[in-house]
A and B are shown apart, each in its own frame.
Chain A
């Protein structure tokens, strides 16, 4: 009886091991804000990741196992998500996230655990600065802030600018400061600098003060949730100045929340947009694949960034020739001339790609890609 049991156990074990070997998988984690304040961008990025996953679900002859975590737009949850991906799911690499505050929180965990992460749209320099394991598919805020300031001074002929900054958000504080630095360097003057906190709904006192200073342009490095309301309240208070923002305002909801108040709003963006003229081959292919996969919603830059991030990870695993996190990290650092929907991607020493800054303007309630600017 005992013998039979042993044989049975041996057979079971063999079957188990065999099936395990047949389904050898490389685990890739994804942490994105799928709920909360940043849910809109996070979900689009996840769609982009999933699209790339569908096209390239296999590498080195092994299937990719994509494990998705929601970081709920909260830094604490981002920390938890990365911890769980590393400790429980034992992922080889991680993709994420939208939002610099979230990436900064998640990055600390990944750095300690020595697991490489590719950021989708976290644009604060600190996310990768001095880090060995954090990379990204997007440009950084100093670059973007300089792009916005260059456009304000050169194309809009703005001389006086006001700032309205979310002080509880790393992204907003950073981008605001970089805009200020470039705008003054280009000969402009900052006439007002006011602040608010994430989740605020009333900006009337700040806007009344800005209005009284009559700036040519107001720069709001906000997320669209607050940004839309700020635009609306600014126009309600009779503001006539131009309003500009960063990539976090790139969202259809901006127009649906602000309505007519969003007319003429300008924001910087990554160099991909479904409306852009002169699309490169990768961008064209991505747009077509997206429209086939998600016929009921258009692609946007977040989707392209999600797609590009997955591409970076897969190519790095391929180049590394193994799912060893250290080898993937080394391969990621050497990313060069990778064809993505956002153009050819080459990472610099700080793990940041170089790309021009796209400019988008709201015209007749529609986002229009008006061109690109080289920051000065």
Chain B
């Protein structure tokens, strides 16, 4: 492989990896606080992409405004889903909430099919995102820089929120012991709603970025990225925000570089993600940055 080709692949990997990371932090945050895999996360991601599509194409909002509207709309959706599908199951065994999440996932996908139809739609891309930056034979899309940047900013914001603010303190308390936190006078349901709102806002942000990079949206677009991001979160150590970022970037790099070095294996690209998951879990059952099993965030 030539050096140029390697650099090209490096940037491709960085873009895919940070997209996975962006989705993965939503999974990991909800898990860290509630010990619960929100399987509907990938579908909120899809809804976020549709919201910006309708904002920009149907209501002709300027792009930044459409993005904000999509994020707010998705956060509201996350809170509503929590209120309807998860809150009544708070006291039930964890598996019930998990099954409920799978139900929500199918519900959102099929609602999408009914409301948005199954036809893939081209996403609206602002002009400055589309023209590649050319360095000799290397071509890098502006989005390749924007995605890691957005991911970094969101992660820092999230870490600040979780470790430096009172709601963050309450979140961490809930992740330790939900009953004791309730006894301390914390409004559990509000904090959990906030968690879902934030998680869904992150999913929407990821959906928007994804649609900018791969400008085609359809009701099942969240399924595979959702799985991959889930793997990224587990590889990095589910519950750890830094771990999700590490897992995402690692997964993107493995996928791209495996094909770059072994083109004949390109058909197995998706399989690499799952092999990576198995190998890492064999050696580190709690993921790369995961804490011991009995400990939460």
Q: Which residues of A contact B (CB under 8 A)?
A: 34-37, 39-40, 72-73, 165, 167, 192-197, 199-202, 204-206, 208-209, 212, 225, 228-229, 232, 236-238, 253, 256-257, 259
Which residues of B251-294 are within 8 A (CB) of A? Answer: 255-257, 259-260, 263-264, 266-267, 269-270
CA distance A225 to B12 in the complex (A): 21
CA distance A253 to B16 in the complex (A): 25
| A236 x B139 contact (CB < 8 A) | yes
Determine which residue in B118, B210, B218 has the highest number of CB atoms from chain A within 10 A of its CB, and name it.
B118
Chain B residue at smallest Cβ distance from A167: B267
| B266 x A195 contact (CB < 8 A) | yes
Pick the contact of B263: A35, A200, A209 (CB < 8 A). Answer: A209
The interface residues of chain A lying within 8 Å CB-to-CB of B137 are: 238
| B215 x A208 contact (CB < 8 A) | no
22 contacts between A and B (CB under 8 A): A37-B118, A40-B119, A73-B118, A192-B263, A197-B269, A199-B220, A200-B224, A200-B269, A204-B8, A205-B13, A212-B2, A212-B5, A225-B216, A229-B214, A236-B141, A237-B139, A238-B132, A253-B119, A253-B120, A257-B120, A257-B122, A257-B215
| A202 x B267 contact (CB < 8 A) | no
Pick the contact of B8: A40, A194, A208, A259 (CB < 8 A). Answer: A208
Least CB distance from A236 to B in Å reads 5
| B266 x A196 contact (CB < 8 A) | yes
CA distance A259 to B123 in the complex (A): 11
The interface residues of chain B lying within 8 Å CB-to-CB of A167 are: 267
The interface residues of chain B lying within 8 Å CB-to-CB of A192 are: 263
Known: A212-B2, A253-B120, A257-B216. A205 touches B224 (CB 8 A): no
A-B pairs with the 10 shortest C-beta distances?
A195-B267, A35-B118, A204-B12, A201-B214, A205-B259, A167-B267, A39-B118, A205-B256, A195-B266, A194-B266
Pick the contact of B259: A36, A73, A209 (CB < 8 A). Answer: A209
The interface residues of chain B lying within 8 Å CB-to-CB of A209 are: 5, 259-260, 263, 266
Known: A205-B9, A205-B260. A238 touches B134 (CB 8 A): yes
Pick the contact of B267: A72, A196, A236 (CB < 8 A). Answer: A196
Is B165 close to A, CB under 8 A?
no
The interface residues of chain B lying within 8 Å CB-to-CB of A201 are: 210, 213-214, 216, 221, 224-225
| A208 x B5 contact (CB < 8 A) | yes
CA distance A237 to B140 in the complex (A): 8
| B216 x A228 contact (CB < 8 A) | yes
Pick the contact of B270: A40, A197, A206 (CB < 8 A). Answer: A197
The interface residues of chain B lying within 8 Å CB-to-CB of A202 are: 12, 16, 213-214, 255-256
Least CB distance from B218 to A in Å reads 8
Is B60 close to A, CB under 8 A?
no
B interface residues, tally (CB under 8 Å): 42
CA distance A225 to B141 in the complex (A): 21
CA distance A225 to B113 in the complex (A): 16
Pick the contact of B118: A36, A195, A196 (CB < 8 A). Answer: A36
Is B117 close to A, CB under 8 A?
yes
Chain A contact residues, majority secondary structure? mixed
Which residues of B211-258 are within 8 A (CB) of A? Answer: 213-216, 218, 220-221, 223-225, 255-257
CA distance A34 to B269 in the complex (A): 29
The interface residues of chain B lying within 8 Å CB-to-CB of A193 are: 264
The interface residues of chain A lying within 8 Å CB-to-CB of B255 are: 202, 205
Per-residue interface assignment for chain B, residues 91 to 122, with 1 indicating a CB less than 8 Å from any chain A CB and 0 otherwise: 00000000000000000000001000111101
| A253 x B8 contact (CB < 8 A) | no
CA distance A36 to B220 in the complex (A): 8
CA distance A257 to B8 in the complex (A): 24
Pick the contact of A197: B120, B214, B267 (CB < 8 A). Answer: B267
Least CB distance from B210 to A in Å reads 8
Further 4 A-B residue pairs, CB within 8 A, beyond A196-B269, A205-B13: A35-B118, A202-B213, A205-B9, A209-B263
CA distance A35 to B267 in the complex (A): 26
CA distance A205 to B11 in the complex (A): 10
Chain A residue at smallest Cβ distance from B125: A259
The interface residues of chain A lying within 8 Å CB-to-CB of B256 are: 202, 204-205
Least CB distance from B281 to A in Å reads 23
CA distance A204 to B122 in the complex (A): 19
The interface residues of chain A lying within 8 Å CB-to-CB of B120 are: 37, 225, 253, 257
Pick the contact of A199: B16, B134, B224 (CB < 8 A). Answer: B224
| B139 x A39 contact (CB < 8 A) | no
Pick the contact of A39: B117, B132, B225 (CB < 8 A). Answer: B117
Known: A39-B118, A39-B119. A194 touches B263 (CB 8 A): yes
Chain B residue at smallest Cβ distance from A166: B267
Least CB distance from A72 to B in Å reads 8
CA distance A202 to B228 in the complex (A): 13
Least CB distance from B2 to A in Å reads 7
CA distance A253 to B218 in the complex (A): 13
Chain B residue at smallest Cβ distance from A224: B120
| A205 x B214 contact (CB < 8 A) | no
Least CB distance from A11 to B in Å reads 45
The interface residues of chain A lying within 8 Å CB-to-CB of B141 are: 236
Least CB distance from B263 to A in Å reads 5
CA distance A296 to B161 in the complex (A): 52
CA distance A10 to B257 in the complex (A): 78
CA distance A197 to B134 in the complex (A): 29
CA distance A238 to B267 in the complex (A): 23
CA distance A236 to B138 in the complex (A): 10
CA distance A206 to B16 in the complex (A): 14
Which residues of B153-173 are within 8 A (CB) of A? Answer: none
The interface residues of chain A lying within 8 Å CB-to-CB of B263 are: 192, 194, 206, 209
The interface residues of chain B lying within 8 Å CB-to-CB of A257 are: 120, 122, 215-216
CA distance A149 to B270 in the complex (A): 30
Known: A232-B215, A257-B216. A208 touches B267 (CB 8 A): no
Chain A residue at smallest Cβ distance from B221: A201
The interface residues of chain A lying within 8 Å CB-to-CB of B117 are: 35, 39
